[in-house]
A and B are shown apart, each in its own frame.
Chain A
Amino acid sequence: MSYNFPECEWVNGKKLITTRIEMPMWCTSEILNYIIRHPVLEIKLRKIRAIDKDFDSVVESMCAVDWTEDVIQHIDSRKILENVRKTIPLREEVHEWMRVSYAHNVAISVMKQNYANVVSTRKKGIMESEFVTLGGIIDGKSDDPYIPGVQVQDISYVSETGKTVADNGFAKLNTPYGIDHVPILDKKTIIKPKMLAWSAIPWVGNKQWIGAIVKWVKLVKNPFELAKGGIPNVLLTNFSGTEGLSSPVFLAHVPPRFGLRNDVELDIASNKDQRIEIYYRDPRDFTKALCKLTIPLQGNSINKIRYSIRSLFGVSPMLMHIETPDNGLIAVKKFNVRSYLFPFLIPI
């Protein structure tokens, strides 16, 4: 197995845990360099078909986390918060921000678990099949960045009071690449040359504030088709429990063989009508976007999306970055890529 980056690297004198993509055998560094040097990609949406499916039923079929038993498990922390407010009363030691943060942590855990739990079968012989772990690794946390502080792997918030953060209008996020500013009551997708993360600040108080960090360590790659659940994003609610900030989904687009055209099959369940944006990025430098596609999704349905990516120099493995608008939740149920040497589209 070869990856786009080593597991850890020194950047600016700090140790960086990279976000890794497993590269296919055919894609040597020379081939990748050649393809990426000619990034003339053409992306074309071919077909979308929506099949009615209640989004909550998709979430219910996701695998559950076992560190919490007394609250409902969801990727929408608004729903968890409703339940948390009933089961965990306010006390001398339990404040409101902690209940909100707890709801976030439950949602992040469900997202983590379902991102890791992608297993597919591969035919070994006529009768045998082998289980292959395609699972990715995500780490994430929500807590108060002032005291006790929030750190996820190599990313942490600068420990400042809520008042300072509110006066500045942003919080400082410390990454091996330096300091990033995250606007308060908002979110930011952190895309660095070798690292992918997401941070959100859903609430700011006088002393305390809530800061969440999610970091992708290893990306899930195609092909997978999940009968139950899906690879979800997460929604972190604000204090009122009405609005929420949605995280992106990162996947690895890995063509099984060299081709001038890739046909992509993507099944996405959506909680509401929304327009998602899919960015394709260079696997050697995530900051370089290669092409973009905007797709309208129908709510409470599974959207079967088919599109093609074409390049006369070949289509390389890429990072697939799906960005959803606020309050939007998605779960990727199927992701398959087929490679063709014939570059022209055949109408379907």
Chain B
Amino acid sequence: MFNFNDVEIVEGNILVPTRIRVSPLSFKRIDRALDTLDVSLGEIKEILPIDKIPEPTFLKFDAKVFIPRNILEKARSEITEMVSEIKWFNPPIEKIKEIIEKMEPEEKDKKLEEKEISSWMHEATAEFVTLRFIQENYNQSNNSYMVTSVGDAYTPGVSCEDLSFAHETGYTVTQQGFANLITPYGKIEVPDNDGSTIIKEKLLAYAHIKSGWGVQTTGHIMKWKSLATTLEGKVKNLVCKNFGGKEDPINPQFFAQVTKNAVKLIKSKITMWSSKDQKVLIEYRDPTNYENVVFKDWIDVPAGKSELNGICGAYPHVPPLVAHIKPKKDAFALQSYDIVEVK
């Protein structure tokens, strides 16, 4: 069973909610279980320092699928150099943009009516490559599904299922300092050159907008449709990347901790990789209303690969929980999240 219907009406609008597959046993008497919830996180254990594992090699990246064929052929040497050095996980968006710009430059000499390529497309392509990489990896867990969309939010427009950027010029976005994202819950302001995590009662998403002093704006939307859960195996390959901007906007990640049986205690084990020493936010949220935070903590994650163990207990049983993870500085990947039910 799922926590929400596949189509819901909120505030008179139709919403396609973010859903979690839960076991009916663990969903019973959830209010009581959430009230008595007790979470305890252990000490972080460093497994490998960053010089031993400079890149999270466990992630999936298929250059042939993600990068435009023409650009891949032209820039093979540069890309191969990047692949061998940094395995494509960590190239800053700027670096990808640079390669695309070099291979497919803006057509400045052409007449206005004949022009096809302009500068915003380089930025958007770099984001498209990165987003597909994040999406593909998120979808590796069972039942998990994330959808993404990227492009010029002014013309031709960016929308992802029931979320769309309003049709606003780059000038407007720069002037007002934000872009409007239209959601079934109403308009949400996404700060310019920054990202915004959208957490509503039944919806989890992330939007990012970048405007220069031009008409165009590059925006992207990530929507978690079906969360990765621990119901049928572990959650794996969750990627957080810095998309560049004022406040180092990094996308968050969401997944669900769900037990098969009604148990009072579970042990969890998180294996993660971080490019820098940084603080990472861990929140557990109520699966019946994602806005309710039931547990919150910051953990100090060292650069490289590390492990964290935790314990979660509640009466009459551990409820399903939505985990929200957000690093503060730079690239971060959650290799796996596994639970053991203590009977």
Complex: A15 Cα to B132 Cα, angstroms: 13
B333 at interface, CB cutoff 8 A: no
Complex: A174 Cα to B69 Cα, angstroms: 13
Distance in angstroms from B174 CB to nearest chain A CB is 14
Contact A95 B152 (CB under 8 A): no
Q: How large is the interface on B (under 10, 10 to 19, 20 to 34, 35 or more residues)?
A: 35 or more
Contact A133 B9 (CB under 8 A): yes
Contact B150 A148 (CB under 8 A): yes
Residue of B nearest to A99 (CB): B155
Complex: A58 Cα to B319 Cα, angstroms: 48
The residue among B5, B119, B150, B225 with the most chain A CB atoms within 10 A of its own CB is: B225
Complex: A151 Cα to B165 Cα, angstroms: 17
Residue of A nearest to B9 (CB): A133
Complex: A121 Cα to B148 Cα, angstroms: 34
Given contacts A116-B162, A205-B116, contact A147 B157 (CB under 8 A): no
Cross-interface CB contact of B118 among A92, A105, A139, A143, cutoff 8 Å: A92
Distance in angstroms from B235 CB to nearest chain A CB is 14
Contact A135 B14 (CB under 8 A): yes
The secondary structure that dominates the B interface is mixed
Given contacts A93-B214, A105-B156, A218-B7, contact A147 B148 (CB under 8 A): no
> Chain A residues with Cβ under 8 A from B118's Cβ?
92-93, 95
Complex: A283 Cα to B100 Cα, angstroms: 44
**Stretch in A25-33, A157-165, A336-344 touching the partner:** A157-165
**Stretch in B139-147, B192-200, B240-248, B277-285 touching the partner:** B139-147
> Chain B residues with Cβ under 8 A from A94's Cβ?
154-155, 215-216
Chain B positions 123 through 165: 1 when the CB is less than 8 Å from some CB of chain A, otherwise 0: 0110110001000000100010101111110111101111011
Contact B164 A109 (CB under 8 A): yes
> Chain B residues with Cβ under 8 A from A8's Cβ?
143, 145, 226
Complex: A137 Cα to B5 Cα, angstroms: 12
Chain A positions 50 through 67: 1 when the CB is less than 8 Å from some CB of chain B, otherwise 0: 000000000000000111
Show 25 residue pairs from A and B whose CB-CB distance is below 8 angstroms, ordered by the A residue.
Answer: A17-B145, A17-B225, A67-B159, A68-B157, A91-B215, A92-B118, A93-B215, A94-B215, A94-B216, A96-B113, A102-B155, A116-B7, A137-B16, A147-B100, A147-B122, A148-B121, A149-B128, A151-B132, A153-B147, A159-B67, A162-B116, A164-B70, A205-B116, A208-B117, A218-B7
Given contacts A91-B215, A151-B148, A207-B104, 10 further A-B pairs with CB under 8 A are A17-B225, A68-B167, A98-B155, A147-B121, A148-B127, A148-B150, A149-B125, A159-B71, A160-B68, A160-B69
Give the B-binding residues of A (Cβ under 8 A): 7-8, 15, 17, 20, 65-71, 88, 90-99, 101-102, 104-106, 109, 113, 116-117, 119, 131, 133, 135-137, 139, 141-144, 146-149, 151, 153, 156, 158-162, 164, 174, 205-208, 217-218
